[in-house]
């Protein structure tokens, strides 16, 4: 079953075509990793789905609802950016409460990651004083706060210590098992191999290949996903 359907999506910055008539279906209840080198179009694709970038042409449908500039569909999405940017003068607790207020302060908000990631002791400090790892933890709390149907996670474990990284990855797997749709970007291939069902590899604004992690590794004869992708891309260069 398709949760997000993208057809003929194109985006240009001046003369640079970042996305070129891209077609992609993101499956419900699965984790899809969007990979590719810098400048491949990953960020533009994600921001287009989030409504933060307006494409030149094409369509995006989220669970049957066409994205046309309206914000309502975003209420079902949790977004964890690679770099957390929130008001620097507010404490982490105030930021969490601000986001809750913007969403109508729902009673079923899930703050369990505060305890799981052991960030409670940092919540009353100004956000500007937090370490990169603790900023990442607050960002994770906010992404999962409203039990979203769809999660966009951009380098989610960057800057986290091994214990916190394991906690977050366990939570991602738990949400996937619960039927959430997860879109992941990461440069850590061991993380992708652990979390993702499918890899979509972008190159020059187009999908170079889309394949299950199991098939990608198995067909390559390599020991892990990183080497499997390296073999695939080396074969392309040689060809």
Q: Indicate the pairing of strand 198-203 with strand 31-35.
A: parallel
Question: Among all chains, which residue has been given the structure tokens 């999962």?
Answer: 144
Q: How many domains does the chain have?
A: 1
Query: What local confidence, expressed as pLDDT, does residue 70 receive?
Result: 79
Q: How many CB atoms lie within 10 A of CB 75?
A: 11
Residues 6+ apart with CB under 8 A from 217: 193, 224, 225, 228
Q: In this structure, what token pair is assigned to residue 143?
A: 């992404």
Please, what is the angle between helix 132-144 and helix 92-102, to 10°? 20
Q: How many CB atoms lie within 10 A of CB 65?
A: 12
Q: What percent of the chain has pLDDT over 70?
A: 98
pLDDT at 167 over 80: yes
Q: Which of 115, 168, 118, 173 is nearest to 140 (CA)?
A: 168
Q: Which domain holds residue 6?
A: 2-238
Confidence of residue 237 (pLDDT cuts 50, 70, 90): low
Summarize the confidence of residues 149-171 as an average pLDDT.
97
Query: What local confidence, expressed as pLDDT, does residue 68 receive?
Result: 81
**Residue 20 is part of a domain; what is its CATH number?**
3.40.50.300
Confidence of residue 158 (pLDDT cuts 50, 70, 90): very high
Q: How many CB atoms lie within 10 A of CB 200?
A: 22
């Amino acid at each position: 079953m398709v949760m997000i359907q993208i057809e003929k999506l194109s985006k240009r910055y001046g003369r640079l075509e970042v996305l070129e008539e891209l077609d992609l279906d993101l499956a419900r209840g699965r984790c899809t990793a969007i990979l590719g080198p810098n400048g491949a179009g990953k960020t533009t694709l994600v921001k287009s789905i989030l409504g933060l970038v307006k494409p030149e042409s094409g369509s995006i449908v989220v669970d049957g609802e066409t994205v046309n500039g309206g914000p309502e569909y975003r209420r079902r999405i949790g977004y964890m950016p690679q770099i957390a940017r929130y008001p620097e003068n507010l404490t982490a607790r105030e930021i969490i409460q601000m986001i809750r207020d913007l969403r109508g302060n729902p009673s079923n908000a899930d703050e369990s990651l505060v305890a799981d990631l052991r960030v409670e002791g940092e919540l009353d400090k100004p956000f500007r004083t937090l370490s990169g790892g603790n900023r990442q933890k607050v960002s994770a709390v906010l992404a999962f706060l409203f039990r979203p149907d769809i999660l966009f996670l951009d380098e989610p474990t960057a800057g986290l210590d091994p214990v916190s990284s394991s906690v977050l990855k366990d939570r991602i797997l738990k949400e996937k098992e619960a039927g959430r749709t997860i879109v992941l970007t990461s440069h850590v291939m061991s993380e992708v191999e652990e979390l993702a069902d499918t890899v979509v590899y972008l190159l020059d604004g187009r999908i170079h290949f889309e394949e299950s992690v199991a098939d990608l590794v198995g067909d390559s004869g390599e020991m892990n996903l990183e080497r499997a992708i390296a073999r695939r891309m080396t074969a392309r260069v040689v060809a």
